[in-house]
Amino acid sequence: MADRVMLTIGTKKGVFVADAAKPRRSFALCGPFGPGVPVYSTLIDVRRTPRLYASSCNPFFGMKILRSTNMGKSFAETKSAPAFPKDDGRALVNIWSLETGNDKRELWCGVEPASLFRSRDGGDSWEMVPGISNHEHARKWQPGNGGLCMHTIIRDGNRVHLGISTGGHYLSEDGGQTFTAANQGVGAGFSPDPYPEFGQCVHKIARHDDAPGRLYMQNHGGWADWSGPGGPRPDIGVLRSDDYGRSWRSIAKGLPSDFGFPIVVHPHDADTVYVMPLEPATRTCPGGAPAVWRSENGGDSWTRLARGLPKKQTYFTVLRDAMDVDQLKTPALYFGTTTGQLWIGREGGERWECLFDSLPLIHNVKVAVV
Amino acid sequence: MALSPTPTITVYLPGPLRAYSGGATQLVIPARTVRAALAHLEQSQAALYRNICDETGAVRRHLNIFVNADNMRDLSGVDTPLAAGDEVTIVPAVSGG
């Protein structure tokens, strides 16, 4: 019976694991594992005996996948990590996303430069997925500030959604064999064409299993004052699709900023979605006062959730994969900051408390009930 | 004319790479150039090689390779010739934070 809440925390200096009994009164911290090496993605795979994965992105010695089979007590490298074919001409720079695949040993992995890899043996061997990695657009995508990364992989049967910065949203309906750019309504502030076919700086995409056609996107917003060719592009930062990502519309009205990185959906309600607005110029908390914003009606209106969070002089950033929500009946949210704090938002984000205040810069937070 | 025997050289490994060399701090291998030394490692020490070179075969960007006291960049790169007894040292660049 699942009775513990487990967190994986990917940081600039390795991966940490924290866990607590279900009431989540206090979390015990272990790590760092892969010490000193940046971890951009983690995965808690609960399809069988839980396994934890972390991408260990060593700028000196290359990319590794770490795996724990003992609930985070230790990690070891898998037999291999994703790598481009020798004659491809590209070399892996970072591993940005790890997700579960169809069968119990299958994993998917999004990397920089933006490409997709698949493992059928729990991460010991990997093959490139050519339908997107060799897509006719692939050599035209441009890196964003974080690099040219494939950061979002969402599967729904044969449907696969990918988020690429900067490439946009790509949709497969044949299990990942072929992909189509699906960005109608997704704006781009940094190109003369405000609504290009592809090339948008998508920051994160999220969905709920009960509403597979509904997707939420945190796009690169902050272009309301743009005065160059194509004119201003207000409210392009927070978007919703109701047709499996083929078209998108803004749901940013009511937010203090349409810029941000993570977007998270409530585990039991597809209408409830959370974002963390940031000032577009500094990418820090508006007015120095951090807050998560929640919509309970699919983005029609928003409520500020800041009880317990600092009220002033706070200028951290929450990165694209650094916010998650657990699956308990009354779920808690979690976010990690670039200043190394890990916060828990109890009662669905109503009441915030700092769990750990001096970790390294946090890239990634994942939570599961195990 | 008979080709001279392939020189034997010593490759010195930094601490983080010793997990991939069975704990060895140095490897004695035959090689006429740095490129040949790397090719030898690719065949004989595949896991170690992947830490030194990326998929394209390029030496990883934040690694330096010295031939005796000189960075190979200041010599002829991976085509730098090696002589018997040369010391090839792999060192992470001083960078990061």
Per-residue pLDDT reduced to its tens digit, A251-260 = 999 999 999 9
What six digits make up the tokens of B8? 């034997």
Is the pLDDT at A223 greater than 80? The verdict is: yes
Among A60, A78, A115, the residue to mutate for chain B (most B Cβ within 10 A): A60
Query: DSSP class of residue B17?
Result: G
**Mean of the per-residue pLDDT values for chain A?**
96
**CA dist., res. B79 & res. B60, Å (int):** 16
**Shortest alpha-carbon distance between residue B80 and chain A (Å):** 22
- Per-residue pLDDT reduced to its tens digit, A191-204: 878 999 999 999 99
CB-based contact A146:A93 (threshold 8 Å)? no
Q: Does the CB of A87 have a partner CB in chain B at under 8 Å? A: no
**CA dist., res. A141 & res. A238, Å (int):** 21
- Per-residue pLDDT reduced to its tens digit, A133-181: 999 999 999 888 788 999 999 999 999 999 999 899 999 999 999 999 9
B8-12 vs B87-92, strand pairing mode: parallel
Residue A27, phi then psi, degrees to nearest 5? -110, 140
pLDDT of amino acid B96: 53
Confidence of residue B95 (pLDDT cuts 50, 70, 90): low
**CA dist., res. A222 & res. B82, Å (int):** 56
Residue of chain B with shortest Cα separation from A36: B97
Query: DSSP class of residue A200?
Result: B
Cβ distance of A60 and B93 shorter than 8 Å: yes
**Shortest alpha-carbon distance between residue A57 and chain B (Å):** 12
Nearest beta carbon to residue B51 from set A62, A88, A90: A62
Burial class (CB in 10 A: 0-12, 13-18, 19+), A229: exposed
Full-model pTM: 0.94
CB-based contact B95:B77 (threshold 8 Å)? no
pLDDT of amino acid A286: 93
| Partners of residue B60 in chain A, C-beta under 8 Å | 60-62
Nearest Cα to A183, choosing from A139, A224, A137?
Answer: A137
Please tell me whether residue A349 adopts helix, strand or coil conformation: helix
Whether domain B8-92 has CATH 3.90.650.10: the reply is no
Give the contacts of A203 (CB within 8 A, at least 6 positions apart).
Answer: A151, A163, A165, A217, A218, A219, A220, A260, A261, A262, A263, A320
**CA dist., res. A13 & res. B92, Å (int):** 17
Number of helices followed by number of strands (H, E) in chain B: 2, 5
How much is the ipTM here? Answer: 0.82
pLDDT of amino acid B97: 57
